[in-house]
């Protein structure tokens, strides 16, 4: 490189390196989930916002199960919680999952890593409206492990989720 171009290259590098890096795409629709705290791939001021399309594009699962909240067996589907956290670059030990009405539950990150927990966007194939526990509900894999059908996991099964805070 010629010496006379060096200052311009250096200035260009500094300008690019001062722009905040956003690794997660911007939501195109209404934001239904914000992940904050220990997030390394934000798309807005240190937080990761998701719209429905972003969430439903992530790897997920569907499970047909009984729960204490609905009569009979229903199918819940949505992205795996671990995939949502991965998309946000979230790392930590505890998730504080908050609902629209400010109910909150502390959920160990290990529940996302070792269990097939989902952020359900759909019940029996239909979007879940706010009046029916939507737009998001943390659903444990009661269909895969009946030992999870306890008060401990029921208390962590937050519905009407608006935000997840990732704590160290």
**DSSP-derived secondary structure letter, 125:** T
Measure CA 146 to chain center. Answer: 24
Whole-number average pLDDT of the chain: 89
pLDDT above 80 for 8:
no
Q: Looking at the 3D structure of the chain, how many domains does it have?
A: 1
Q: What percent of the chain has pLDDT over 90?
A: 85
Expressed as residue numbers, the domain containing 51 is: 21-167
The pLDDT of 110-130, averaged and rounded, is 97
The pLDDT of 113-142, averaged and rounded, is 96
Indicate the pTM of the whole model. 0.85
Report the alpha-carbon distance of residue 26 to residue 154 in Å, rounded: 33
pLDDT digits (tens, 9 = 90+) for 132-141: 999 999 999 9
In-domain check, residue 2:
no
pLDDT above 50 for 121:
yes
The CA radius of gyration of the chain, in Å to the nearest whole number, is: 19
Residues forming beta bridges with residue 17, ordered by sequence position:
none
Of 47, 41, 48, residue with least CA distance to 21: 41
In-domain check, residue 9:
no
Report the alpha-carbon distance of residue 36 to residue 50 in Å, rounded: 12
In-domain check, residue 6:
no
In-domain check, residue 53:
yes
Question: What pLDDT, on the 0 to 100 scale, is given for residue 77?
Answer: 98
CA dihedral for 117, 27, 31, 96, sign (positive or negative): positive
In-domain check, residue 28:
yes
pLDDT digits (tens, 9 = 90+) for 59-116: 999 999 999 998 999 999 999 999 999 999 999 999 999 999 999 999 999 999 999 9
Compute φ and ψ for 130, nearest 5 degrees.
Answer: -55, -40
Question: What pLDDT, on the 0 to 100 scale, is given for residue 4?
Answer: 54
How confident is residue 13, by pLDDT bands cut at 50, 70 and 90?
Answer: very low
Helix, coil or strand: residue 5: helix
The token pair that represents 156 in the structure block: 């962590």
In-domain check, residue 8:
no
- CATH number, domain at 134? 3.90.420.10
In-domain check, residue 58:
yes
Q: Containing H/E element for 75?
A: strand 70-79
Of 82, 155, 162, 156, residue with least CA distance to 116: 82
In-domain check, residue 16:
no
């Amino acid at each position: 490189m010629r010496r006379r171009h060096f200052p311009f290259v250096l200035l260009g590098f500094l300008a690019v390196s001062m722009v905040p890096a956003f690794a997660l795409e911007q939501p195109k629709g209404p934001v239904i989930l914000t992940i904050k705290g220990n997030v390394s791939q934000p798309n807005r001021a240190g937080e990761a916002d998701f719209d429905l399309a972003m969430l439903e594009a992530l790897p997920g699962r569907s499970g047909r199960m009984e729960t204490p909240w609905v009569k009979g067996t229903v199918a819940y589907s949505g992205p795996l919680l671990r995939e949502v956290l991965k998309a946000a670059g979230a790392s930590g030990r505890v998730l504080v999952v908050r609902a629209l009405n400010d109910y909150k539950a502390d959920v160990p990150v290990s529940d996302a890593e070792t269990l097939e927990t989902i952020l359900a966007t759909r019940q029996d194939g239909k979007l879940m409206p706010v009046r029916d526990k939507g737009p998001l509900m943390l659903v444990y894999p009661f269909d895969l492990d009946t030992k999870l059908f306890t008060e401990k996991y029921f208390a962590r099964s937050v519905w009407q989720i608006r935000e997840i805070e990732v704590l160290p």
